[in-house]
Chain A
Amino acid sequence: MSSSDERIFPARRDFLRSSAMVAAATGIAGSAVAYGAANAPDRHAPGTRTTQVRLTVNGQSHTLDVDTRVTLLDALREHIGLTGSKKGCDHGQCGACTVIVEGRRINACLTLAVMHDGESIVTVEGLAGNAALSPMQAAFVRHDGFQCGYCTPGQLCSATAMLEEVRAGMPSVVSADLAATPTLSAGEIRERMSGNICRCSAYPNIVAAIKDAAGVDA
């Protein structure tokens, strides 16, 4: 397996310590928007229904004034204009909205933007570096890991972070030995990617692409 991408996983999580993830520098100079630190104590004061949220998305800092109800997905799509992350079901069932927050893949539709104030997010737009496709993106192209493409941004973010989970030694329910270091197989990939639905059913090619990107023999 290739080493993890420091841009996407700035601070690899350490399961052994189970410590809280801390935001780490991304190493990319973002065009930081001025952020009024003096206002910070009031941002989440009781009684307010709009709130200021600072998000670092694909290395770029954004400061937004949002209704407390705005999900992270809507903040990305509607407020920041990054429409790569897709709204499929909007209920955490399809995975089309998967983004990587502080190095972890999550459903952006089932979390509020305000809950992620100060955190770093990578969307499908941030996977490629300097216009070159990421290894996972290139593998999806090579193996035709899509038909309509609607689920693809979520598949890509999910698969990219999933490989990082395997590198960190995280087991899955199909791992025969929980204590052992997990090894990727088609069965492991299918289990670990079950949160990403593809209605075109491109699953065989998606699995092949992920195996390829992970350097696992097909």
Chain B
Amino acid sequence: MKAFTYERATSPEAAARAAGAQVNTRYIAGGTNLLDLMKIEVETPVHLVDINRLGLDRVEEGKDGGLKIGALVRNSDLAADPRVRERYPLLSRALLAGASGQLRNKATTGGNLLQRTRCYYFYDTSKPCNKRAPGSGCAAMEGFNRIHAIVGTSTQCIAAHPSDMAVAMRALDAVVHTVSPEGDTRHIPIAELHVLPGNTPQIETVLRPGELITAVTLPPPPKGVQVYRKVRDRASYAFALVSVAAIVDVAGGKIGDVRLAFGGIAPKPWRDEAIEQAIRGVSADDASLRAASAGLFADARGHGHNDFKIALARRTLGAVLAEAVS
């Protein structure tokens, strides 16, 4: 690990000022991803701003019937919050499906959104990686790419976003609140927070240098049954191969409003209006939903080892929809 200086911020505004004052500064919250990357020197900050004691660790009722989640609310606390369990079970399930008990006790809401990919080659500093070392190439394209993305990729990068929580928040249309080093605040719809790799896979979000996530707000829960399903190589403590967050409303025997977000298959929490459109109006029975799902993801492209994810995404979606209407 490279040497760094450390300071504990006293307010969100002071934290953002401190982060904006020096290049290559990182915020540290739970630290479970950042320190992992610092140990292998994929991340080499010269300065850390500790944001753990800023009072951003509360879940509050929103004025509109939604919730305001402080950026420092731990994943375990958010999953266990009675309001989340009752009104946003999708989010609670997604959080509990991620990592381990120990990690959820540390990992934070803001940090979870900003966690880096688990692409092996991003971690392996002896291999080319356009995300870690722009312009060096992508070892995953011709390498072991079983865990990699099948949609939203580019010729530069096929890494998948690893979060479960963010997938549920994408289905819930969460909004990310930030403060800048200049003290300006803004509200970013989660759909716009993460960006696709394109030719600049090192840029993963629209956040500007030093911009600090202070909270995430959830609108009131939409009508419908909420389901989160995660398919992975082992039953617990593993990243998703494919995950589906679904909010499904049935009207007159057919699918009405539906929101579908996917994890494990894209560089960002994935939601595709065309997929939702294709499911709307389908007869709300097991066979019809599985059949409708089987024709989706026509644009998906595998890279060899991850070809199976295309069929797995279709089948998982079909199974989730069938569960939602059962």
Q: Which residues of A contact B (CB under 8 A)?
A: 13, 15-16, 18-20, 44-49, 51, 67-69, 71, 90-92, 95, 98, 104-107, 110-112, 114-115, 117, 158, 162, 165, 168-173, 178-179, 190-196
Contacts and interface: CB of A to CB of B under 8 A. Distances in A.
A67 B6 CA distance: 10
B28 interface: yes
A19 to B, nearest CB: 7
B102 A158 contact: yes
Given A46-B7, A91-B39, A195 B57 contact: no
A95 B103 CA distance: 10
Nearest to A193: B101
B211 interface: no
Chain A contact residues: helix, strand, loop or mixed: loop
Given A19-B57, A105-B102, A194-B236, 14 more contacts: A13-B77, A18-B57, A44-B8, A92-B32, A92-B103, A105-B101, A105-B105, A107-B32, A107-B102, A110-B32, A110-B35, A171-B79, A172-B96, A178-B89
Given A15-B82, A18-B58, A179-B85, A107 B101 contact: no
A18 B93 contact: no
Interface string B46-83: 01101010010111000000000000010011011110
8 contacts: A15-B77, A19-B57, A44-B8, A67-B3, A105-B105, A158-B102, A179-B82, A190-B236
A195 B101 contact: yes
B106 A110 contact: yes
B323 interface: no
Given A95-B100, A112-B28, A107 B5 contact: no
B118 to A, nearest CB: 11
A145 B39 CA distance: 32
B92 interface: yes
Interface residues of B, number: 47
B278 interface: no
B1 A91 contact: no
A171 B92 contact: yes
B101 A110 contact: no
Nearest to B93: A173
B134 interface: no
B62 to A, nearest CB: 14
A21 to B, nearest CB: 9
Given A68-B3, A178-B93, A18 B59 contact: yes
Nearest to A43: B8
A69 B1 contact: yes
